[in-house]
Amino acid sequence: MILRIAILVMSACGVISDSILIAFYPQFFELRYGLTSAVHVGAYIAAISIAVMCALPFWAKLTRRIETLHLLWITQLLAGSLAIASAHAPTVEGYWVLTMLMFIMKASYLLLFPYLMREEKPENHGLVIGMVAVVVHVGAIFGASVGGSALQYLGPEESMYLMSAGDFVQMGICLLLIFSGNYAKNKQQTTIHNDNATAEKNKPLTRPAGAWMALAKLSGLMLLFDMSAYLVRPFFSVYWESIYTAGNQTITGMVFAIPGMVAIVGLIINKSFLKNKIRHLDHTAVNLLIGATGLLLQASSSPLLVLVGRCLYGWSLFQVVVKLEVTLFRISQPAFYDRDFAVTNFFQNLGVLLASFAAGYIVSWIGVPMSFALAAAGFIVTAIIDRRLFGVDQHHQRGLAASNTQHPKQFALEEG
């Protein structure tokens, strides 16, 4: 329980740090370096995705030699130091180099997710993933609100200092866990997990014949979904400020973070209603169509309809993300959690990368509203492809049934 809380807090710190400027890069580059190019902003966000998607498999491989928490305190120390250095970068080229190195170091904290899932029983995966999703969304709320206020009242350099603070807090929590008695117990359990994982990996045919194909199809769905979801993200703050001129960047940050508020409501509803077998709330295609409707509403010029659209979009985002992540751990095995998570994360970041590049050009050529329409089309295509080629709901239910019929000794092995 202590480890779970610590990892959730560390995840929150990482998300807050990442969210401080994510909605405000157009304003940041204009204030700091006088750049107003939408294509440049899209390219920069795409470069972040490239850095993360290339770094995470390396960190995942390195954790086979170095215990995860021992690795993380070093990488987060370096990430925080690079954030401080980038605040003083005199040129945009220097800022690019320093922040790309920073995001390479930051990427290692994503390994907290599979690290935590190995410590949880399979039947708890849905709850834990929901909790992580809420922590991520609440962190985005706080980060976006703080980032908007910091950029408006303090300045771009101070915003980078705030980003570094999240990295240093993560470093501190890692060191506390390492030197605490609670971590000593977990370290022993983790050693058993790693030994079991190594033994399992050395066995021939340890994975079902269709496991790689299922992982490939799920990765493709995640790529398309994330590309559609993130297509509207880079320029939403600029769009909102163009249709609601009475606000400021603090209000913009709060509107940007509405999906995070909806995620909290989503977790409560899931626990209350899905336990009682009201399954239509959990249907992937229905939630994708809800998201498409929300995206189309945001394409309007009405602030009220945009707010309603943000709520629908947030509901869809939370439900579909949780379902996709739970399905990953349904079709995977504990010994391969790190590897499979790195694979799907690569495709998720590839989706974000493609969305970031596309967003800059779409906004430059045909404006922000069309990005919402294209994202809605992407959600609909995702629903069609899932129904035709994969079936997230079916895999989710089959995996749940399999985990519930496992022999007790298998649970003991997985729990260490």
**What tens digit of pLDDT does each residue of 407-416 get?**
333 322 222 2
| Residue 202 pLDDT exceeds 50 | no
The pLDDT tens digits for 272-297 are 665 555 555 668 888 999 999 999 99
Question: Is the predicted pLDDT of residue 199 greater than 80, yes or no?
Answer: no
Quick: pLDDT tens for 11-27: 888 888 888 887 788 88
> pLDDT above 70 covers what percent of the chain?
82
Whether the predicted pLDDT of 386 surpasses 90: no
CB atoms within 10 A of CB 203: 9
Is residue 252 scored above 60 in pLDDT?
Answer: yes
Instruction: Give me the mean pLDDT over the 99-112 stretch.
Output: 90
Residue 213 has pLDDT above 60, yes or no: yes
Q: Which alpha helices (H) appear in 257-302, and where do they start and end? A: 258-273, 284-298
**Backbone Cα Rg of the chain:** 21
Question: What are residue 23's phi and psi, to 5 degrees?
Answer: -90, -5
Amino acid 62: pLDDT: 86
Residue 404: pLDDT band by 50, 70, 90 thresholds?
Answer: very low
Q: Domain 2-193+209-415 sits in which CATH superfamily?
A: MFS general substrate transporter like domains (1.20.1250.20)
Kindly state the average pLDDT of the residues 167-174: 91
Q: Tell me, what amino acid is at 375?
A: A
Q: Please check the confidence at residue 183 and state whether its pLDDT lies above 80.
A: no
Higher pLDDT among residues 74 and 24, named by residue: 74
Contact 171, 77 (CB under 8 A): yes
Q: What confidence score (pLDDT) does residue 405 get?
A: 44
Q: What pLDDT sits at residue 169? A: 92
Greatest mean pLDDT range, 143-152, 157-166, 351-360: 157-166
One-letter amino acid at 114 equals: P
Measuring CA to CA, how many Å separate 195 from each of 72, 184, 188, 228, 257?
A: 21, 17, 11, 40, 42
How does the average pLDDT of the chain come out, rounded? 79
Q: Residue 1: what pLDDT?
A: 60
The confidence score (pLDDT) of residue 200 equals 46
Interval 358-375: pLDDT, tens? 887 888 788 888 889 999
Q: Count CB atoms within 10 A of the CB of residue 388.
A: 8
As given in the structure block, the two tokens for residue 406 are 């496992």
| Average pLDDT over every residue of 164-190 | 74
**pLDDT score, position 188:** 45
pLDDT band at 247 (very low <50, low <70, confident <90, very high): low
Domain boundaries, the chain: 2-193+209-415
Question: Which residues, including other chains, have CB under 8 Å from residue 267's CB and lie 6 or more apart?
Answer: 130, 131, 133, 134, 318
Average pLDDT over residues 266-275: 70
CB 221 within 8 A of CB 343: no
pLDDT of 399 reads 53
Q: Flag whether pLDDT at 72 surpasses 70.
A: yes
Task: Name the pLDDT band for 184 (thresholds 50, 70, 90).
Answer: very low
> What are the angstrom distances between the C-alpha of 157 and each of 80, 90, 92, 153, 154?
14, 11, 13, 11, 8
pLDDT band per the 50, 70, 90 thresholds, residue 228: very high
Q: Express each pLDDT in 114-124 by its tens digit.
A: 787 777 776 66
Confidence check: pLDDT of 261 > 90: no
Contact 36, 235 (CB under 8 A): no
The helix (H) or strand (E) run that includes residue 170 is: helix 156-179
- pLDDT for 322 beyond 90: no
pLDDT, one tens digit per residue, over 52-63 is 888 888 888 888
Separation CA 207–CA 171 (nearest Å): 35
